[in-house]
Structure formats: C-alpha cells, structure tokens
C-alpha cells in the first residue's frame, strides 16, 4: 500500500466526486429548464391554447421531457414509460385535439434486451364536412426531410412562395389552390418544419420525436398552430 504514489489514491476519489457533482449539476439544470419552460407543461399549455386537459400529467413538460421522473429513470422490465396526454377544446370555433403518446417497454432476455417504443404526437382540427385527402410537408427543415405518410400526387398551389416552401400532395387541384391561400400562416415555422395531414375529416399537424417537425420546435409555435389548423378546417369543411 505504501508503495503506491499519493495520486493513485486521490484519482478515484476525484473521479467519484466529479461523477456525483455532474449528476447533481444535471439534476439542477433540468429543474432550471423545467421552470424556464414552465409554459410548455401540459396544464399550462392547455390553458394557453384554450384547451382542456382530458388525460395525463399536467406537470409533464413537452420541452424538457427528461424533467419527468419516469422518462429520466427509463423503462425497466417491471415498469414501462407511459406518457399519455390528451387535451381538447374549441378555441377558435373548431373542435381541436392534441394527443401525445410516448410508451417504452423493455424486455431483458438471456443475451439481449428489447425495447419497444410507441410515439404519436399530433394536433388535429375537425371539419364539419368531409374533404379530399391531402398532405403538406416542408421542403427544407433543419433536421432533414419529412417522411410522407400518404401516396398522393404532387399538386401546384399557384402561389409561388408556398410552392417554393411546401410540397403539397392531393388529387384535387382546387384544394391545392385553397391551400395556397392558407399555408402562408405556416411560414412562421421556418426550419422547424411543417407536416400537415388531411385525412378527409381532420387536419392534423404531425410531430415526431427525432425527425422534423420535432415536438419542442413545433410546439414553440403552438398558438400559431392552433389558429392555422382551425382556419384550414373551417375553410375546408365549413
């Protein structure tokens, strides 16, 4: 023992201290960010958007998801991560819903560990009348291309600024032309990206966990999103 130099004993203690310090620092920073972005907690967001929280934890923060204990701890074999939030209302005269589902299950085998992840986040406005299906995606985003969900033909909106910024797909040319009038409101989203899905009854803004448009960057424009979706649903389906 006496042959070991002094720093051989000091280094592990310093490393352990550093790890503990970093853990406590990370925890403190997470709390700070959670406070800083308190208006993105489910309860506060619902109030801001004129929606009612129907399901889920009102303190779940969409900007700082790891502030949630279950997310920070991670999934275990016994306990899955399950964040299921739903809010609804009619802030601009059109029924609007916001759904967020994040579920992770873990199964540990003899020589492998399997994670199963479910993720769905979208804000949807319902139209009174049915309309032809369509899909709108931003041509350029800061985190790569947006994957389309429907196979529809490209359509021109006859608004050069909109056509340059968004790719509109639909079978109905008149619908594309109408979208040419309505989509400029989504220009605010810029590089965060826009992914609109019209399924014939609802117009949804689809958000993703790791590809554009990502939840935090899209929800930064939550008010604009609710207003623009309501306007589209009103114009499309009365």
Partner 1 sequence: MSALGAPPPELPPMPCAVCGAPMIATEPQFLHQDPELACRYCGRREALPKDAAQLHRHVRLRLLQLTQAREATEAPLRTFKMMNHSWPQAIGLVALMAAYQAWSLGTHWSNLGKLEPSQAVVGFVPLAAMFGMVSGWLGMRRVFSRQLVPLLRARPPHAPGLAARCRTCGGNLPPVRAPQVSCSYCGASNLLDAALTANAAALLQQEAQEYQNRLKPWARDATLYQAPMRAFYLYGAAGALIGLLLCGFGLVLLAR
Please give the residue ranges that form the binding site for partner 1 (CB under 8 A): 47-50, 91-92, 185, 188, 190-192, 220-221, 223-224, 226-227
* Cβ at position 48, least distance to partner 1 in Å: 5
> What does the DSSP 8-state code read for residue 19?
H
Closer of 37 and 220 to partner 1 (Cβ): 220
Closer of 96 and 178 to partner 1 (Cβ): 96
* Cβ at position 167, least distance to partner 1 in Å: 19
* Cβ at position 31, least distance to partner 1 in Å: 21
* Cβ at position 15, least distance to partner 1 in Å: 23
Nearest CA to 189 out of 235, 222, 146, 232 is that of 222
Do residues 144 and 208 lie in contact, with contact meaning Cβ atoms separated by under 8 Å? Answer: no
Closer of 191 and 238 to partner 1 (Cβ): 191
> What does the DSSP 8-state code read for residue 164?
H
* Cβ at position 197, least distance to partner 1 in Å: 23
Sign of CA dihedral 175, 123, 65, 112: negative
Closer of 57 and 223 to partner 1 (Cβ): 223
Cβ neighbours of residue 214 closer than 8 Å, sequence gap 6 or more: 143, 192, 193, 207, 208
Nearest CA to 159 out of 126, 136, 143 is that of 136
Distance CA 34, CA 118 (A): 24
Closer of 75 and 228 to partner 1 (Cβ): 228
């Amino acid at each position: 023992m006496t042959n070991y130099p002094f720093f051989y004993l000091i280094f592990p203690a310093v490393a352990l201290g550093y790890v503990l310090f970093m853990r406590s620092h990370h925890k403190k920073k997470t709390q700070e960010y959670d406070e800083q972005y308190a208006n993105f907690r489910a309860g506060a967001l619902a109030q801001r958007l004129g929606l009612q929280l129907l399901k889920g934890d009102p303190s779940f923060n969409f900007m700082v998801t790891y502030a949630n204990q279950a997310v920070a701890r991670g999934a275990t074999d016994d306990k899955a991560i399950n964040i299921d939030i739903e809010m609804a209302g009619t802030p601009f005269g059109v029924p609007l819903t916001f759904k967020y589902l994040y579920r992770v299950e873990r199964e540990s085998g003899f020589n492998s560990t399997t994670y199963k992840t479910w993720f769905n986040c979208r804000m949807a406005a319902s139209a009174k009348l049915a309309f032809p299906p369509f899909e709108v995606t931003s041509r350029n985003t800061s985190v790569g291309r947006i994957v389309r969900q429907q196979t529809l033909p490209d359509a021109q909106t006859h608004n050069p600024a909109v056509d340059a910024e968004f790719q509109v797909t639909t079978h109905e040319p008149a619908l594309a032309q109408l979208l040419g009038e309505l989509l400029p409101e989504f220009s605010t989203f810029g590089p965060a990206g826009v992914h609109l899905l019209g399924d014939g009854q609802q117009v949804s803004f689809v958000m993703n966990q790791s590809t554009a448009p990502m939840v935090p960057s899209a929800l930064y424009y939550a008010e604009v999103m609710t207003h623009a979706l309501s306007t589209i649903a009103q114009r499309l389906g009365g």
